[in-house]
Copies of this chain bind each other. A is one copy, B any other.
Amino acid sequence: MTAGADLQAIRERKPLVHQITNYVVMNETANATLALGALPVMAHAPQEVEEMASVASALVLNIGTLSEHWVAAMVVAGAAANRAGAPIVLDPVGAGATTYRTVTARRLLSELEIAVVRGNAAEIATLAGREAEIRGVEAVGDAAGPELAQAAADALECVVSVTGPVDHVSDGQRVVAVANGHELLGTVSGCFLAVRQASPLEAAVEALVAFGVAGEDAARDARGPGTFHVALYDALYNLDPATLDSRAKLD
């Protein structure tokens, strides 16, 4: 387990994490990136997206609130990241909820080399070609668990992280269950990938561990979603590399 060492690396190297994400979470993902110790940059204009992606250490794509120009930006940025060897995280928000989101997520998976896809069971099941009942962005389906993660990783040829009550991460061969997950997770995964570019499975697991431990710390004194949210940034910022590995709850 090298979650602690990689957290330390994030804080020392301060990698640039390029994010093309949705309007709803943009402020939160920037703040979470900063709290972890990395540098967020949001850029989507065709005039600059390639240049920005080529200097970043990881790229996070999130298809919530997407529109035509943003999808085009994702494709261009993704190709630049691929050429530069920077790993890409895809968060297929709402895949299965509308045809446009499903088609867009599939297009990104087919045109780009994606390192990690992280989504809920319904989103992942949709992309893996498994039927799923979806209601909007939040999945209502059951926690499909390890076999979904493995089957999807196999079908999509990348690491897949299925979040739910227990999170499952697989590269198609191994499956790791982590009992600690969330909407900011795509970004946190991007930060860990930025310092562990060659090992997306490890990076995805480490992100779940770091996020889960921070969530435990934040939940301790929270009185509801408002105080939890605030405490989460504090907790990400205060994560201790020295104790992080020992707090991981792997299965």
A residues with a Cβ closer than 8 A to B are: 14, 16, 22-28, 30-31, 34-35, 39-45, 47-48, 51-52, 55-56, 64-69, 94, 97-101, 135-138, 140, 223-227, 229-238
Contacts and interface: CB of A to CB of B under 8 A. Distances in A.
B22 A42 contact: yes
A234 B225 contact: yes
10 contacts: A22-B42, A25-B27, A35-B225, A40-B136, A40-B137, A47-B68, A48-B100, A223-B238, A224-B237, A226-B237
Contacts of A23: 23, 26-27, 42
A13 B53 CA distance: 42
A84 B177 CA distance: 41
Given A48-B100, A67-B69, A223 B227 contact: no
Contact of A100 (B27, B45, B101, B138): B45
A101 B96 CA distance: 34
Contacts of A232: 226
A24 B27 contact: yes
A52 B51 CA distance: 34
A234 B227 CA distance: 7
A39 B138 CA distance: 7
Contacts of A135: 14, 16, 39, 55
Given A68-B45, A97-B52, A234 B230 contact: no
B27 A101 contact: no
A236 to B, nearest CB: 8
A38 B56 CA distance: 37
Given A100-B47, A135-B16, A31 B233 contact: no
Nearest to A232: B226
Contacts of A231: 226-227
Contacts of A136: 16, 39-41, 52, 55-56
B51 A100 contact: yes
A9 to B, nearest CB: 16
A163 to B, nearest CB: 16
A234 B69 CA distance: 36
A250 B230 CA distance: 33
A52 B93 CA distance: 13
Contacts of A35: 224-226
Contacts of A234: 223-227
Given A39-B138, A135-B16, A48 B226 contact: no
